[in-house]
Structure 1
Amino acid sequence: MDAHQFAKDKQVVIFELDDVLFPEKDYLLQVYYLFAQFIEYSEQKSAQAILDFMRLEYESNGAEQLFEKTAIQFDLADSYKHNFDLLHQNARLPLKLLLFKNMLAFMQELVVDRKKIFIVTAGNPIQQLNKIKQTEWNGLEKYLTVFFVDELEKPKSEIYQNLLFNNNLSPKDALVVGANKFDEAQSKLINIPYIVSPKIYR
């Protein structure tokens, strides 16, 4: 379906960040690369071996307990967990994060059509902001308004509701673009139409 059809009668479109605008793994794998390089420098252990292990473990089982598994595999001190966590928040990435091509085209259409674009993102606010700063927005950044769920300490549905209220809009004037059942449920709580990002293509 043409992305334009999703939003033609909307005034605002609300996006999540991870796996909606870009693949979360593009950020995490670069963090793991930097961590592996740091360990090689500090401990003279092979960065490539560490990175290969972390990538395979992440792709097989996700990010949960990844440091602990890596520490056991390569006999790393628990104190390195601090460095691992800190990199997630402030890593200077070797490569910028790139938007999904379909999402870039969709957002560019929204700007041309004078729709408002909001990002409502969950997760550590410092980490999420770091991702935003290191994304190649292709000029879209000046059209974005961002809300950090964990900073506001409110459910997404309430943030959506406040966003509508502050812009004098009703739920039918908005569209939420997400990538999971939780975002869909939060949207349905206040009757905002919801679509899954992979359904948007050009």
Structure 2
Amino acid sequence: MDAYQLVADKQAVIFELDDVLYPEKDYLLQVYYLFAQFIEYSELKNAQAILGFMKNEFEQNGPGNLFEKTAAAFDIDLKYQHNFDLLHLNARLPLKLLLFKNMLEFMQGLVVDRKKIFIVTAGNPEQQLNKIKQTEWNGLEQYLTVFFADELKQQKSEIFQNILNDNNLSTKDALVVGASNFDAQQSKLINLPYIVSLEIYK
């Protein structure tokens, strides 16, 4: 879908973060790398083998119960669950997170056209902030306004409505860009136009 036509009559665009602006796997796989390195240092177990197992398990079955599966496969003490969880929150990544090319170009176009950009993201606020801080925004960061749904203890639809109210916008003036049925449903609750991020191109 042509991004220029999409926002021609809009004043604001609201994005989710994970798998919308960047691929979440790029964050998680780096967390797994750091955890594997930590276990090798602490327990003298093979980091490459652990990372290979975690990567394959993640790609096959997703992140659910990944620590438990890895601990069972490599006889890792369950006390390291704490370290695994902590890395998800505050890992210092070896590599910056990169925006999807189509989304970077789309957002740059929004800035040129002086349209407001908001990020409304769900999930642990500390973790989401850590991702944002380690993303290569290419100068876009100064134009972003971010809301953490879990910190505000509000449904996304409520946050969307508050954004409209605070900026004197109607639903026809804004667009939500997401990647999940939940985002679509939350937008529909207040009749906000919604599009899946993968449909955007320049």
Which amino acid letter does the alignment assign opposite residue 70 of structure 2?
T
Aligned to 2:71: 71
- Structure 1 distance, partners of 2:43, 2:137, is 37
- Structure 1 distance, partners of 2:72, 2:38, is 17
- Structure 1 distance, partners of 2:48, 2:125, is 30
What is the CA-CA distance between 1:38 and the residue it aligns to? Answer: 0.2
Q: TM-score, normalised by structure 2?
A: 0.99
- Structure 2 distance, partners of 1:3, 1:22, is 17
Q: TM-score, normalised by structure 1?
A: 0.99
Aligned to 2:94: 94
- Aligned-partner SS, 2:145: strand
Aligned to 2:31: 31
Aligned to 2:133: 133
- Structure 1 distance, partners of 2:130, 2:149, is 15
What is the CA-CA distance between 1:107 and the residue it aligns to? Answer: 0.1
Aligned to 2:81: 81
Which amino acid letter does the alignment assign opposite residue 27 of structure 1?
Y
Please, which runs of 5 or more residues in structure 2 have no aligned partner? none
Summarize deviations over 1:134-154 as a string: whole Å, max 9, x none.
000000000000000100001
Aligned to 1:49: 49
Summarize deviations over 1:154-184 as a string: whole Å, max 9, x none.
1000000011011111111000000011100
- Aligned-partner SS, 2:78: coil
- Structure 2 distance, partners of 1:201, 1:27, is 23
Aligned to 2:103: 103
- Aligned-partner SS, 1:145: strand
Which amino acid letter does the alignment assign opposite residue 52 of structure 2?
D
RMSD across aligned C-alpha pairs, in angstroms? 0.5
Aligned to 2:152: 152
Which amino acid letter does the alignment assign opposite residue 74 of structure 1?
F
- Structure 1 distance, partners of 2:148, 2:29, is 23
What is the CA-CA distance between 1:87 and the residue it aligns to? Answer: 0.3
Count, aligned residues: 202
Aligned to 1:112: 112
- Structure 1 distance, partners of 2:67, 2:8, is 45
Summarize deviations over 1:21-69 as a string: whole Å, max 9, x none.
0000000000000000000000110000000000000001100100010
